[in-house]
Amino acid sequence: MDKIEISLTINETPYQMRVLPNDTLLEVLRNQLDLTGSKEGCDEGVCGSCTVHMDGKPVRACLTLALEARGRKIKTVEGLATGDALSDLQQSFIDHGAVQCGFCTPGMLMAGEALLSTTPGPDEQTIRRALSGNICRCTGYAKIVTAVAHAGNPQAPCPDCRTQTPYLQAKE
Amino acid sequence: MSEYAIIGKRMPRVDSRAKVMGKTKFTADLNLPNMLVGKIKRSPHAHARIIHNDTTKAKAPPGVMSVVTGKDTAGVKWGVFAYTRDQQFIQTDKARYIGDEVAGVAAIDEETALKALDLIEVEYEILPPVFDPMEAMTMETELIHTEFPNNINIHVNIDTGQVDENFAKAHYIREDTFVAPEESYFQAEPYAVVARFDSEDCLEIWCPNGGPHMKSKPLSNAFKIPLHRVKVRKIAIGGAFGGRSEICPADYICALLAKKTGRPVKIKFTREENTIATRQGHAMITTHRTGVDQEGRVLARETTCYMDGGAYSSTGPIATSVPFLSMEQAYRMGSVRYNGYRIYTNKPIRGMIRVHGRGFAAGLDTQLDMIAAHLNIDPVEMRLKNSRQQGEYTSTKSFVASCAMDETIHKAVAKSGFSEKFGNLPPFHGIGMGTNSVQTGFPMGIRGGSQAFIKFNEDGEATVMSGVVDNGQGNDNMVVQIAAEELGLLPEDIHLVSADTETTASDPGSYSQVSTFVGGQAVKIAAQNCRAKLFDVAAKVLKVEPSTLAAKNRLIFVKDTPEICIPIKKVVRISLLNFTSVNAEGGYWPRVDMKREWVSNPYGQMCEAFSFGTTIVEVKVNPATGQVTVLNATAAQDVGYALNPLVLEGQFEGSIAMGGQGGMLTEYHEWKEGRCLNPTMLDYKLPLACDMPPIHSIMVESIDPKGPYGAKEAAMSIAMSAAQAYAAAVSNAIGVYMDSFPLTPDKILAAIKAKENKEPE
Ligand code: FES
Ligand code: FES
């Protein structure tokens, strides 16, 4: 098989590269660009740990050919923060204890960000449905769901929503 | 409010920032210069003699750098115990399950490696396989391992005496059998390993592991190199649940390929390989016979369990014991006899899994419910009559220093409204409870203790070195929290070096639920020793006695007059200028009975602490489809002391998902001729976000006298009591005591139908 020259825009950076027609977007991200934040949990479109955004929509990078990403805007977990400043959802995942082993986290974040961008203030059922293409073996999902619900949307009775003071003082 | 500054707080985990940014590296994320792709050739036969293993053709294609077979392994055999050394890293004589390792390849890329695998010519003589443990014991086929008659790998026999006498005194006796097939870990991260030999010919290796020191020893044995030349490195781990404890043949094969080629090699398992060729949970057939007095107190119990162990021993002696031990801890029994048999079959290898025998535990509680119904006793009462109490000895003679089992029962009952609901719910709507207990540690001999080192840097920040490993549960954060608390620093002032065999001292690993109790305690002691040194220096400067000092918020101050204080940074600098060390070490070795052995002497102090927990769930069953909807789950556990409620809640919730929702409703393996039919995430049904009920977590604190701040194992008992509660709730909803798990719709419908046929309206 011959390699094909393509250009991709990933996290707002343009790349030129040569890929095989059967290379998946996930393989290109991880193996060619060393963007290893997107994980390979199943390689068959089930676990969601490889979820990235293509033109703002969540897609499974393990089922997306690199060729399909030509001319599209790709965003990966590495592109969520602006420099050192985390997105609301990233911060919320930390604050609410939504991260355990962290293997599902990149995919969960991308699914959660996609939901929040189209549906602000989603209710619990909507969140659960939106995350149901992403498997987490550690958390039982409870804290992930709360993290999405409270992202940039602090709730007064929640002991984990970040207020002005850091947690050590806030929880006395 | 507690006197602690950092301990006991809902502190977000120190490792989560890198994780949400996608920066954390897992093994498969490592890309080393010049790295080769490793692949493993596996047996397609369940039982076959290897006649010939020819690699000539496989070595030919350009890009194939090395092909290894059993000939290259010098016949080294692995086993957790001396008496269970039955597994070669690459088989030389025969393959014992579909997936057994027969060769390894390293090549410049995956395609070339796969091509080489196909070119390896293994000639087999197919032997009759055996897949059923009961059949395996009849020995009609060739023994799977010649040294083990009747294919019985392990037999654990525990007998407290007086069993038959007490049965004779019993008012009521029941005998019931419960079954459950294999389940799998499905860690989010498929297994992977990267290995290289460095410039000094030391083996450097990265892989998800339950304990780096448990990996380094067998590697040192296999390569015949001293331990200091085996550097197991720290790497993020995508979940373990008991399935990442032992050395994996892939570790050895990867290292061997790296040695042969002089280049780094990465082996990345497919999802299917992770299911087939790491570990699975045992299938079990368990018979409980229980005799009670008029009040429902258990006078005698006899339990016999047949466990399908698969092709090799793995942690067999432990796995054969723990299902029983958990129950003997949870419940008092006047007398008990246990016979656990782990039997070899030609199936993948079974190991320890978070829910140690769902059929075993759920069976025992189901039977208690049956007895309670017969005696007209409420299930809560039934448990309170038999629940473990503080200050008692278990049947196998472990002293229980802290136990708040009853409090977990009372709190879970109150929160869930169990007493109002039980017996008063509409048809097909049920509620059920389970109680269980888990060890905080196993007797681990030479690796039972942990040591930590702490060094201060001149900027007043500290580096903590500890062998504790974080599989995802938050152990790194636990260590940082403890060190910061004791040193009077903030968590961000602590740099953690952990889970690395080159720089950290021996540690039991994240295995047997002991990390906080032993590893955390070691860090606490090291930090206290370090603090004492700081106080000596500070006392001189402040012209007070060291005993009057305290440390908090980067300051050392006089307890009664906090205005008199000095920054820790300054104390460190003064110490360095005065040639005084402010570095320290600390270690902790739990007092267990070193003579206790799983098979030969299963009596004596098992570990220093046990956790106790209760789960209650409420369900609705759709009588037309057999589908179960879980309305809510309430989990209460005696955790000793909650070091970080935020982290603990996450562990409770994960336990409900794995032990209850997945373990009791959907998760199991299906087989055809030794081939697993559902090894992938597509076919094996794991719980999703939309499946999970609301979960109420209740942390009960008994303050264990030995645990750091009183802490002990947290949340694993919930995975087990959740399994019991799910079974009880479904049984309660349909009015049939279920004895075959998991409770899939087909079984539920069949039970409903059978009941209707039995009692026509
Ligand atoms: S790796 Fe893409 S969905 Fe699992
Ligand atoms: S945090 Fe481990 S899989 Fe989700």
For B660, nearest residue in chain A (alpha carbons): A140
- Domain interval for residue B543: 16-23+445-588
> Which of A31, A91, A97 lies at the smallest CB-CB distance from B647?
A97
Is this prediction's ipTM beyond 0.95?
Answer: yes
Among B588, B608, B633, the domain boundary falls at: B588
Among B588, B607, B623, the domain boundary falls at: B588
Give me the CATH number covering residue B79: 3.90.1170.50
DSSP-based three-state secondary structure for B71: helix
On the question of a cis peptide bond just before residue B742, with omega within 30 degrees of 0, the verdict is yes
For residue B185, the chain A residues in CB contact (below 8 A) are 137
Tokens read off for B511: 């295995």
**Same domain membership, residue B54 and residue B199:** yes
A105, A141, A29: which is closest to B20 by C-alpha?
Answer: A105
Residue B267 lies in a domain: yes
Mind listing the pLDDT tens digit for each residue in B108-164?
999 999 999 999 999 999 999 999 999 999 978 899 999 999 999 999 999 999 999
Cross-chain Cβ contact B681/A47 below 8 Å = yes
**Same domain membership, residue B650 and residue B566:** no
**Same domain membership, residue B474 and residue B438:** no
CATH node for A4-79: 3.10.20.30
Domain span(s) for CATH 3.10.20.30 in chain A: 4-79
**Same domain membership, residue B423 and residue B471:** no
Residue B149 lies in a domain: no
Cβ contact B713:B304 at 8 Å: no
Mind listing the pLDDT tens digit for each residue in B692-722?
999 999 999 999 999 999 999 999 999 999 9
Cβ contact B398:B332 at 8 Å: no
Ligand 1, from A44, A54, A77: best to mutate by most atoms within 8 Å of Cβ? A44
**Same domain membership, residue B365 and residue B309:** yes
Residue A163: what pLDDT?
A: 60
Cβ contact B442:B318 at 8 Å: yes
d(Cα A74, Cα A57) in Å, to the nearest integer?
9
B506, B422, B389: which is closest to B735 by C-alpha?
Answer: B422
The b/e string for A6-37 (b: 16+ C-beta within 10 A; e otherwise) is: bebebbeeeeeeebbeebbbbbbbbeebebbb
Give me the CATH number covering residue B325: 3.30.365.10
Q: Which atom from ligand 1 is nearest to the alpha carbon of A40?
A: 1
Predicted structure pTM score: 0.97
Residue A97: what pLDDT?
A: 98
How many domains does chain B contain in total? 3
For residue B490, the chain A residues in CB contact (below 8 A) are 168
Pick the ligand that lies closest to the CA of residue A108: 2
d(Cα A17, Cα A32) in Å, to the nearest integer?
9
Cross-chain Cβ contact B653/A139 below 8 Å = yes
**Same domain membership, residue B463 and residue B557:** yes
Say if B28 is an interface residue toward chain A (CB within 8 Å). yes
A137 C-beta closer than 6 A to ligand 2: yes
The b/e string for B342-381 (b: 16+ C-beta within 10 A; e otherwise) is: bbbbbbbbbbbbbbbbbbbbbbbbbbbbebbeebebbbbe
Pick the ligand that lies closest to the CA of residue A106: 2
d(Cα B438, Cα B713) in Å, to the nearest integer?
7
**Same domain membership, residue B260 and residue B113:** yes
Q: Look over chain B and give the mean of its residue pLDDT values, rounded to a whole number.
A: 97
For residue A40, the chain B residues in CB contact (below 8 A) are 28, 190
Residue nearest to atom 3 of ligand 2 (CA): A136
Cβ contact B36:B257 at 8 Å: yes
Residue A121: what pLDDT?
A: 96
Give the distance from residue B15's alpha carbon to the nearest chain A alpha carbon, in angstroms.
9
Residue A172: what pLDDT?
A: 35
Residue B749 lies in a domain: yes
Left if phi > 0, otherwise alpha if psi is -120 to 50, otherwise beta: which for B74? Answer: left
Let me know if B40 is exposed, middle or buried by CB neighbors in 10 A (0-12, 13-18, 19+): buried
d(Cα B573, Cα B578) in Å, to the nearest integer?
9
**Same domain membership, residue B336 and residue B230:** no
Cβ contact B349:B312 at 8 Å: yes
Number of H helices, E strands in chain A: 6, 5
Which backbone phi and psi does B466 adopt, to 5 degrees?
-145, 145
d(Cα B181, Cα B359) in Å, to the nearest integer?
9
The CA–CA distances, whole Å, from B478 to B203, B290, B711 equal 29, 41, 11
Quick one: pLDDT band at residue B292, thresholds 50, 70, 90?
very high
Residue B713 lies in a domain: yes
Residue B394 lies in a domain: yes
**Same domain membership, residue B121 and residue B267:** yes
Say if B11 is an interface residue toward chain A (CB within 8 Å). yes
> Which of B15, B490, B654 lies at the smallest CB-CB distance from A138?
B654
For residue A30, the chain B residues in CB contact (below 8 A) are 29
**Same domain membership, residue B600 and residue B556:** no
Residue B632: what pLDDT?
A: 98
From the candidate CATH numbers 1.10.260.40, 3.20.19.10, 1.10.150.120, 1.10.10.60, the one assigned to the domain spanning A88-162: 1.10.150.120
Residue with tokens 């498997």: A135
Span from the CA of A48 to the centroid of ligand 2 (angstroms): 12
B180, B223, B222, B193: which is closest to B78 by C-alpha?
Answer: B222
**Same domain membership, residue B728 and residue B603:** yes
Domain span(s) for CATH 1.10.150.120 in chain A: 88-162
Which backbone phi and psi does B585 adopt, to 5 degrees?
-125, 170
B177, B286, B185: which is closest to B663 by C-alpha?
Answer: B185
Mind listing the pLDDT tens digit for each residue in B550-601?
999 999 999 999 999 999 999 999 999 999 999 999 999 999 999 999 999 9
Residue B163 lies in a domain: no
Give the distance from residue A90's alpha carbon to the nearest chain B alpha carbon, in angstroms.
6
Per-residue pLDDT, averaged over B212-229, amounts to 95
Cross-chain Cβ contact B688/A132 below 8 Å = yes
Among B588, B614, B648, the domain boundary falls at: B588
**Same domain membership, residue B547 and residue B633:** no
Quick one: pLDDT band at residue B760, thresholds 50, 70, 90?
low
Say if B647 is an interface residue toward chain A (CB within 8 Å). yes
Tokens read off for B535: 């106080």
Q: Show the low-confidence residues of chain A (pLDDT under 70).
A: 163-172
A138 C-beta closer than 6 A to ligand 2: yes
